[in-house]
Structure 1
Amino acid sequence: MSTSYQDLIILSEKIAPGQSKTINFSFAKLYTSTNVEIPIIVERAKEPGPTVLLTAGIHGDEINGVEIVRQIIANKINKPARGTIICIPILNIFGFLNASRAFPDGRDLNRVFPGTKTGSLASRVAYHFSKEILPFADYCFDFHTGGAQRFNASQIRIAPKQEALKNLANIFCAPFTVYSASIEKSYRATCEKMGIPVLLFEGGKSLESNKYIVKDGVDGVVRILSHLEMLNEKTVVPEKKAAPVVISKSRWVRAQKSGLLHVKIDCNKHVQKGEFLATITDPYGKMRIKVTAPNEGYIININQAPIVNQGDAIFHLSTVSTKEILNDQESED
């Protein structure tokens, strides 16, 4: 955690208070000997304040997060009234170039943190990021989407029983706040071990840019910066439509048969037990089975693939959810 407001030294580059600088995080080349550079956009106010780190593109095929951070930069939301904002729109530039989730070595960057200096390519990126950039952050916001054809409702994921994170999630005000334990060797787990508050945003699906998901992400960042008194006077704070629905437990509804999937319901919907969700058919007009909700809850993820195999996850459905009032201080289940 940063303890004083003075010059920052990131990757041997000095950034003084009031200065703007783009630093190229470059340590590896393609096999064509072409340099691969990860731009890090740093904006510092003259007035002291927190350091906020915004990251996206840990998975190279997750475009919504890249667009969220891009819009924050393009609209100058990242120019703080106080403190420092560090933006990294694409952390996995290798995967982004290939429209792929993973690194060229097949590794998932979000499963190798905090990395090693002499490990795989992904592990080396994680190592240098964890050692040379992450320690400056007071708050981290990491943007993701659903994998493959699975579309996530806009949601903030936080570890359970973390009151400070729940309060931040309420301020961000995505439609859903989902309690989810961090995965070992993930970026979020590394932040937790370093004592850095982190919110993970999920929304949309890979290889798609969805303007509604992007708006939820940008609006959430604006609310957070306003709360931290970092928002510049030119940026308007969006109103909160409703308090987040807090989901403490959930389940996957899986395909009982292989076939063509026909979804009949929208993401974000609240459904009743037994409600009609989808049909699965064969290609020959001989089979048609209905998929119904096994319990009352909110649909927070839908598989939008046209074809599924038996056992594939097709809906993510809450089993325990509470519509909470903003800034509610009651203890968590």
Structure 2
Amino acid sequence: MLKEIKIFDTVIEPGKSYKLNFNMAKLYTSTSIEVPVIINRSKKAGPVVLITGGIHGDEINGIETVRQIISKNLNKPAIGTIIAIPVLNVFGFLNGQREFPDGRDLNRVFPGTKSGALASRFAYQITKEILPLVDLVMDFHTGGAQRFNAPHLRVSQLEVQSWDLAKVFNAPFLMHGSNIKKTFRATCSGLDKKYLLFEGGMSSHSDKKVVSTAVNGAIRVLDHLKMLDPSVEVPVAEKESVIITNSKWIRARYSGLLHPKVDCGKRVEKDEFIAVITDPYGELRYKVKAPHAGYVINVNYSPLVYQGDAIFHISKDGE
């Protein structure tokens, strides 16, 4: 017998599709803000997969990834259930900003509290209503501000099942990273849920290549779980993920105008010329060189930087 699945007081029947509106908060005008939760359940038993984007409202690539998964009908499983939330932070999405309207980062208040601030209440409802039902979460992000992330998965090697699924996803880079307290990821880990965190591109931009990489990885995972319709063509990755277990942020030695000279994802050698920092007056011209060999996994594309700002993130052990 199939187990009962109930979300927001709605029983999810086998073989049916649902679009539930999660509207636990309102604007100052008393206007309700609805967060669509799209659910498709097969008649056959199987895993429950949660696919999310837009936990930060300005991370367009993650939102577009989930949208494409839905538009391609990849969220209609042959077995099990797929729950898709394209825009977790609708508030931030409407305002083109990262945070909730209360100024808090939704991804720093999990598991949330029942009677706390707005973002914390929202996190609490996700944690209590949806996560207990889920076996796997695929959560799609981008770099913050004007920092561009090379497409990669961030997973802890200590979470063996998640790490194994990350290899199936097969993003260009697979980066070991410890959990950060009060994040969605840490909460999932604490509940013993498998979790894949994808990072790619930068906020407020849509990048077709990054989105394609994310969608293809999700297809490979769903195929591995036998949740895809047999008619779906499963993309084959060109090569296995480069595994990164150590990396370092490179910071600006001077304030000024930043001119990156290498592409994100490129491998650089020690002392390779990777950027120039200048001043507006033609007096300063400082060459930034790679302090060690490795892959460039993040580039700061802000035209202006202050001394100490992170400008590159370079792996220390990728080959």
TM-score, normalising length from structure 2? 0.98
Counterpart of 1:178 (choices 175, 180, 184) is 175
Q: Deviations over 1:129-188 (max 9, x none)?
A: 100011111001111100000000000001133332221111000000111111101000
Q: Secondary structure at the match of 1:18?
A: coil
CA shift at 1:6, angstroms?
A: 3.2
**Structure 1 position 258 matched with structure 2 position 255:** yes
Structure-2 separation of matches of 1:213 and 1:163: 26
Tell me how far apart the structure 1 counterparts of residues 131 and 163 of structure 2 sit (CA, whole Å).
22
Tell me if 1:46 matches 2:43: yes
**1:142 aligns to what SS in structure 2?**
strand
Deviation at 1:75, TM superposition (A): 0.7
- 2:240 is matched with which residue: 218, 240, 243? 243
| SS, match of residue 25 in structure 2 | strand
In structure 2, distance between residues paired with 1:260 and 1:95: 29
**Which is further off, 282-291 or 63-72?**
282-291
- Between the aligned residues of both structures, percent identity stands at 55
Q: How far apart are 1:309 and its partner, in Å?
A: 0.7
Look up the equivalent residue of 2:117 and give its one-letter code.
Answer: S
- State the 1:7 CA deviation: 3.5
Q: Among 198, 201, 210, which residue is 1:201 paired with? A: 198
Q: Hey, what's the Cα distance between the residues in 2 that align with 1:5 and 1:269?
A: 48
Runs of 4+ in 1 over 4 A off after TM superposition: none
- Which of 274, 288, 292 in structure 2 is aligned with 1:291? 288
2:70 to 50, 69, 73: 73
Amino acid at match of 1:207: S
* Structure 2 Cα separation of the partners of residues 184 and 263 of structure 1: 32
User: Aligned pair 1:157/2:143, yes or no?
Assistant: no
Q: For residue 329 of structure 1, what is the aligned residue in structure 2? A: none
Q: Does 1:233 align with 2:230?
A: yes
CA contact (8 A) 1:7 1:17 kept: no
Aligned match of 1:123: 120
- 1:56, 1:89 within 8 Å by CA — same for their partners in 2? yes
TM score, norm. by length of structure 1: 0.94
Using the TM superposition, name which of 5-14 and 220-229 deviates more: 5-14
- Name the residue aligned to 1:89: 86
Unaligned runs of 5+ in 1: 324-333
Q: CA deviation at 1:109?
A: 0.5
> When the two structures are aligned, how many residues end up with a matched partner?
319
Paired with 2:3 and 2:157, the residues of 1 have a C-alpha distance of 35
Rounded to whole Å, the distance in 1 between the matches of 2:160 and 2:239 is: 20
Residue 287 (structure 1) shift? 1.1
- CA RMSD after TM alignment: 0.9
User: C-alpha distance in 2, partners of 1:119/1:166?
Assistant: 33
SS class of match (2:246): strand
Correspondence for 1:21: 18
